[in-house]
Amino acid sequence: MGEFVTLEVEDGVGTIRLNRPPMNALDKNVQEDIRSAAHEAGANDDIKAVIVYGGEKVFAAGADIKEMQPMSFRDMSARADALSSSFTALADLPKPTVAAITGYALGGGLELSMCCDIRIVADNAKLGQPEILLGIIPGAGGTQRLSRLVGPAKAKDICYTGRFVDADEALRIGLADKVVPAASVYDEAKKWAGQFVGGASMALRAVKAAVDGGLNGDLASGLKLESQLFAALFATEDQKNGMQSFIDNGPGKAKFTGR
């Protein structure tokens, strides 16, 4: 982690906090700090779920345009893969993740939020991919993750126009999963993340691997992946404990160890 990105742990929930006032611009250093925070959160067994949060006023309003503007084709060709992979490190984090979005989530900010499993959005938030207004396109997953969330037609509309999407529309098209008052965003995200503390960590990891891996191929490949992950869980303590608890006490009463 660096000056503008921190990883805080409380009650089994990790919070990757962006703190680069005034708008959490995602320059090269912040991008690499996000990569480091994601890797640390994934490796820390005390963390069962992760929140990505930009603070009470803004999630992230995009890349650092002053840093990008003078870059040449050669410069960006050398940087583009690292930019994308720094965000993918969050997408690959093998634990439940939630973006707590206040204010603006634009450009790279929206791309970062789409690397999370779900998005809890303030009722006054604005989301969008306005790169077209700069003469470029999204470069950290925006065209790909957005189209998978809202469909190709909506994704093209948002990227073609660069328009802002309000919270109500975001919820309607599937870009947001829950809309709450701005003051409640972080608390709602922590409530969602907290339900996985004490959960079956290996099974949660398998859910994420199955869903995300299945989206990368055809149905037959996805079903084969699911079968392999399903069978592998029969090597875990949680499977033994969970099924024995069901037999002895009924559903929902198992105590899991995460092993």
- Residue 49 near residue 193 (C-beta atoms within 8 A): yes
Count of CB atoms within 10 A of residue 210's CB?
Answer: 18
> Whole-angstrom Cα distance, residue 141 to residue 127?
15
Q: Which of 8, 67, 111, 237 is catalytic?
A: 111
Number of Cα atoms under 13 Å in the Cβ half of residue 33: 20
> Is 237 a residue of the active site?
no
> Is 111 a residue of the active site?
yes
> Whole-angstrom Cα distance, residue 183 to residue 228?
43
- Residue 113 near residue 119 (C-beta atoms within 8 A): yes
Q: What are phi and psi of 237, to 5 degrees?
A: -65, -35
Q: Which of 3, 32, 40, 131 is catalytic?
A: 131
Catalytically annotated residues: 111, 131
